[in-house]
Amino acid sequence: MTQPENATTSAAASLEEIQRGWHDLQTRVAQLEAERDALRQETKSLRSLLERAIEHRQKSHAELVLLLTTLVGKLPLNDVGVLVSRLVEHNAGVGEISAALIKGKVDAPLPQPDVLKALDQTKRHLNETIKALVDELLKLDTPLDRSLLETVAADPESFFSPTVLRATRAYVKGQLPRERVVREFGESALVFFNDMTTDPKLNPRPKPEEIVLTFKSDFESLLQQNAQAANGKQKELADLYRKVQESKSSSEQARLQRNAFQKLSFTLELLHYYENQNTEAPDTVFAQRLPVLIEQLVLGGGAETLDEKQIVQAEELLADIINPDHRLMVINNVGKAGGLARTLKYVLLFRNERIPDQHETIQDFVKHLIQPQQAPAPKTLAAILRLAAPAMQKPLVRAIMATDRLRRDEADQLGRAVAKELQLTDFEEEIKQEVSVPPEVERQLAWEKIKDMIARRTDPGTIAAAVRERLHAKYDAEEMRQSWITFTEADPIALIRVFCQLPYLGDGRTDPVARALMESYLTRLMHEKYASTYHRVLNSLKNMYHANPNSPTLLNFLALVRWIDPGAADKMNRDIGMPVPAQP
């Protein structure tokens, strides 16, 4: 009974049934195909929109990073290279992810920022310089191990390994590492050397690789007595002795060796910093290590006078420093011990393109050169000033004529004699013209220059430095009044920004003349006679406050006003609409 029922159930559909359902089946298939085509077209449109969005995002992000790196490169930051590198790395990562989402490959990169271009070019130049200096040291036949120098040329980072550091320090002192002597001449050769590391009390058991040796004073006689102690290398050992003694002497060959080694050390230190900016502190490199190498290069061998050829070599090394602030950091840290090294510092400053606080620097240099009531010979001063840039020689001579280290007539006579030694053309005529110009006209001309700087929207720090320089040269009530008039005729925002820059010198000190000038400005600003000027300044401060209550210029200006006159600061706070700080 079951089998017939199953057979009936599984029987094929009849022709009539198929014909009746065929039309419905065609309709459903056509509908499904239409939906498939619509979904395919929608998918293509969505993919196209996604690709366009990702490409636009990638390009806009890359352009934004390029703009940011250009802006960051103009800031006087010590770690500008690190910031730019992080921005570029971030941009590269975004580009790779975007490309993986759409095409699987990265488009042509945007132009490289100028900061990174300069960094890459400097690195290549430093690597080439290292190879050239190593070749020079090899030709000069120094006692340094040849294989060690070749390793440094191939891998500059190896210079900072313990083995190379010990070898180079020993070379500077005229010594040799024990491990090199044992490796080249055997244990028996130690009889010709004195151990400079082992000390019964301070260092009784040093590591063998840390021991340095020096040749005994009677080495030549010992070598004759112990002919077999050098494993048959008596000639090589005698040659090494000759090289060490030559490097310690004051001969021209030894001087060339020391110069090449100092330049190599400077270049390696600088390259090491640029390769490891994330871990190396700039203060350690540019304020401690490099200034010492500059001093040793120019003043090595106990020099009593400055040699322009050595100074030019030092400038070539300094030119490899990308950041001008780092370059100034090296120069400013030269000559901490005084003497001729300090003279070198000022000479390098006055040969530099940018001289911060020029007026104060000139005054300090003249004080360094001239002791109280002790006028040096004009030829001596002229020989030093001749090393400075030609454009700086006349200002330096003028500073000598105006120095308070000597009597007025002595200073004037000394300055004229130095100018004559320097063969400064038209110097006497300029002095006569300055004497013939009335003080009122000279004052007006000086402040017209500052007014022109304000009109040209010069940097506020530069304007403040010009104002301080003028007041240091001519400090009296008329100068104060003319200074105030100059700023009242200008845009009030210029007065605010220059006011914020006036007290700060380049070394962080506060200029006492600037303090007196700011007190004069504030007294006049709060007086009813200058009410119109006060209202213009107040409107500028209000606009700053409404735009950004935490504006650095606004807060700095009010802080300086409170430093001078707390009462005036409270009045300004109320007039601006800012809360008045509680009295302590």
Residue-wise pLDDT for 180-191, tens only, equals: 988 888 888 888
8 pLDDT higher than 50: no
Start-end of H helices in 319-424: 324-332, 340-350, 358-369, 378-385, 390-401, 408-422
Comparing CA positions, the residue from 344, 349, 341, 403 lying closest to residue 376 is 403
Q: How far apart are CA 149 and CA 171, in angstroms?
A: 12
Res 250: pLDDT = 85
Q: Is the pLDDT of residue 466 over 80?
A: yes
The confidence score (pLDDT) of residue 437 equals: 53
Q: In angstroms, how far is CA 141 from the centroid of its own chain?
A: 35
pLDDT score recorded for residue 1 = 43
Higher pLDDT, 572 or 441: 572
Query: What's the mean pLDDT in 46-56?
Result: 76
Round to whole Å and give the CA distance between 175 and 244: 8
Each residue's pLDDT tens digit, 133-142: 999 999 998 9
**Tokens at residue 230, please?**
């050098």
Does position 80 have pLDDT exceeding 70, yes or no? Answer: no
- The answer to whether residue 127 scores a pLDDT higher than 50 is yes
> Which has more confidence, 13 or 339?
339
What is the reported pLDDT for 125?
Answer: 93
Looking at residue 320, the DSSP 8-state letter turns out to be: T
Which residue would you say has higher pLDDT here, 19 or 125?
125
Q: What is the mean pLDDT of residues 453-479?
A: 81
For residue 519 the two structure tokens come to 């007190």
Tokens found for residue 576: 């601006």
pLDDT of residue 7: 46
**Does the structure show a pLDDT above 70 at 22?**
yes
Query: Given a cut of 60, is residue 532 above it in pLDDT?
Result: yes
To the nearest whole percent, how much of the chain has pLDDT over 70? 85
Contact between 398 and 469 under an 8 Å Cβ cutoff? The reply is: no
Question: What residues contact residue 363 under an 8 Å CB cut-off, 6+ apart?
Answer: 399, 472
**Is the pLDDT score of 13 beyond 70?**
no
User: What is the reported pLDDT for 87?
Assistant: 66
Question: Considering only CA atoms, which of 154, 111, 97, 108 is closest in space to residue 130?
Answer: 154
Residue 129: pLDDT band with limits 50, 70, 90: very high
Which of 35-39, 239-243, 485-489 has maximum average pLDDT?
Answer: 239-243
Q: What is the pLDDT of residue 489?
A: 83
- Interatomic CA distance for residues 355 and 468, integer angstroms: 15
pTM for this one? 0.63
pLDDT value, residue 224: 83
In this predicted structure, what is the pLDDT of residue 6? Answer: 47
Going by pLDDT thresholds of 50, 70 and 90, the confidence category of residue 21 is: confident
As to burial, measured by CB atoms within 10 angstroms (0-12 exposed, 13-18 middle, 19+ buried), residue 463 is buried
Whether residue 83 is predicted with pLDDT greater than 90 in this model: the reply is no
Q: Span 166-178, mean pLDDT?
A: 90
Query: What pLDDT shows up at residue 2?
Result: 46
What is the torsional sign of CA 83, 84, 87, 93? negative
Q: Which of 291, 301, 306, 385 lies closest to 339 in space, CA to CA?
A: 306
Query: Hey, what amino acid is at 111?
Result: P
Mean pLDDT of the chain: 83
* Helix, coil or strand: residue 278: coil
- When pLDDT is cut at 50, 70 and 90, the band that residue 9 belongs to is very low
The band of 433, judged by pLDDT with boundaries at 50, 70 and 90, is: low
Q: Which residue has the higher pLDDT, 232 or 85?
A: 232
Burial class for 94, CB neighbours closer than 10 Å (0-12, 13-18, 19+): middle
pLDDT category of residue 453 using cuts at 50, 70 and 90: confident
Per-residue confidence band for 551, with pLDDT thresholds at 50, 70 and 90: confident
Question: Which of 7-11, 35-39, 44-48, 298-302 is predicted least confidently?
Answer: 7-11
Question: Rounded to an integer, what distance in angstroms lies between the CA atom of residue 517 and that of residue 480?
Answer: 7
Structural contact between residues 490 and 454, judged by C-beta atoms closer than 8 angstroms: yes
Output the pLDDT for position 583: 62
Question: Side-chain half-sphere of 330: how many Cα atoms within 13 Å?
Answer: 27
The answer to whether the beta carbons of residues 93 and 288 sit under 8 Å apart is no
pLDDT at 29 over 70: yes
Q: Find which of 387-401, 437-451, 475-489 is predicted with most confidence, using mean pLDDT.
A: 387-401
90-101 average pLDDT score: 67
Given a cut of 80, whether residue 279 has pLDDT beyond it is yes
Instruction: Report how far Cα 478 is from the mean position of its chain's Cα atoms.
Output: 41
